[in-house]
Structure 1
Amino acid sequence: MLYAFGFERLGVVVSDLYFIDPDPMPGQATPERGVRLELRLFECGEPTGSIYAARPITIGRPLWRVDLLQDADAAPGTFDRTHHHPDFDGWIPGPRVFVKELSADPLPWLAGKLSDLPALLKETGVHPGDVAEADAAGLRAAVPEITDTVRGLLERVWAGELGRPADGTGTGPVTSARISWL
């Protein structure tokens, strides 16, 4: 399942995730499942054909990511693999950064990050002046809806409806990330 929240030039995408890390850290070789949220660049094109034509919307490269993951066999709410990626090199995320507060209570931590776009952008290496104030204001206003969406996806992952391997059984092999897209 994929949700997108678009503002001026930035947006947030949120999806469920089932992941087997091809190069796991020690003690993390089992599959992971949960919810991924990314701050992304969005581009809106011009309508073609007539003034009534739909505008193309492109969800571009990521600037920041948070993965609310846990061992796929762990009890709901464990968040033992929860981390974020404060930087990207193009499309490639930097290393996982584990934060005690994020794993302990992820939704308030996430809400705090999204509510302060200038500080979040500073972490990513993007100059806050490169982003319209409308992005910051829109994101701030949408934080409750975004965190409600994340909470709802987590509940569906924990219920076994989402965050499943590609074969859909919840037990089959998968060799890479699987995100459910609408």
Structure 2
Amino acid sequence: MLYLFGFERIGVAVSDLYFVDPDPGENQEGAEHGVRLEIRRLAPGELKGSIYSARPIVVDQLIWRVDLLESVEGRPGSFDRTHHHPGSSGWEPDKRVFDEELSAEPLKWLGERLADLDGVLRQSGVDPAEAGPGDAAGLREAAPEIVDTVGRLLGRVHAGELGTAPATGPATSVRASWL
């Protein structure tokens, strides 16, 4: 499932995730699942028809990512694999950063970060001037709704409805998610 919150030049994408990496590392042994949130560059595309036509939307490069993940074999709500990526190089995220506050209270931590877009951009190595004039205020205002969305998705992951392995059977490499 994918949710997208769009502002002027910044968007927030949220999706459930199921992941198996054939080359485990960075505190990852076995499958993990949960919810991924990304701050991305966002741009409206040119109309492809009349003034009434649907407008293409470009959800572009990654700026910041948080993965509220836990091992599939672990206890739901453990957040034992929860981490964030403070920046990226093109489409590739920087290394995982594990933060005790993030694992202890992930939704509170997330809400605080979403309310400080300029701080997140600076931490990501992005000039806050790249955001639109209303992006920080819009994101701050929408932060409770975004956090609520993340919480509902996490509940569905914990219930076994989302963030599940594909029905194709066991695999050594799987990434089942929009993000």
Shorter chain as normaliser: what TM range? over 0.9
Q: What is the deviation of 1:54?
A: 1.3
Identity %: 54
Give unpaired runs (5+ residues) of structure 1: none
1:67 aligns with 2:80: no
Q: Is the 8 A contact 2:27 2:81 kept in 1?
A: no
- Structure 1: distance between partners of 2:8 and 2:114: 15
Q: Aligned pair count?
A: 179
Compared with structure 1, are the counterparts of its residues 180 and 57 closer, same or farther at alpha carbon in structure 2 (3 Å cutoff)?
A: closer
- Structure 1: distance between partners of 2:161 and 2:120: 32
Alignment correspondent of 1:28: 28
Residue 123 of structure 2 aligns to a residue whose secondary structure is helix
Alignment correspondent of 1:173: 171
Alignment correspondent of 1:42: 42
- Structure 2: distance between partners of 1:26 and 1:145: 31
Q: Is the 8 A contact 1:17 1:35 kept in 2?
A: yes
Q: Is the 8 A contact 2:88 2:124 kept in 1?
A: yes
Alignment correspondent of 1:106: 106
- Structure 1: distance between partners of 2:171 and 2:29: 13
Aligned pairs for 1:151-170 within 5 A: 151-167=151-167
Q: Is the 8 A contact 2:18 2:163 kept in 1?
A: yes
Instruction: In structure 1, give the amino acid aligned to 2:67.
Output: D
Alignment correspondent of 2:78: 78
Residue 102 of structure 1 aligns to a residue whose secondary structure is helix
Alignment correspondent of 1:146: 146
Give the TM-score taking structure 2 as reference length.
0.94
Instruction: In structure 2, give the amino acid aligned to 1:173.
Output: A
Q: Is the 8 A contact 1:165 1:173 kept in 2?
A: no
Give unpaired runs (5+ residues) of structure 2: none
Give the TM-score taking structure 1 as reference length.
0.93
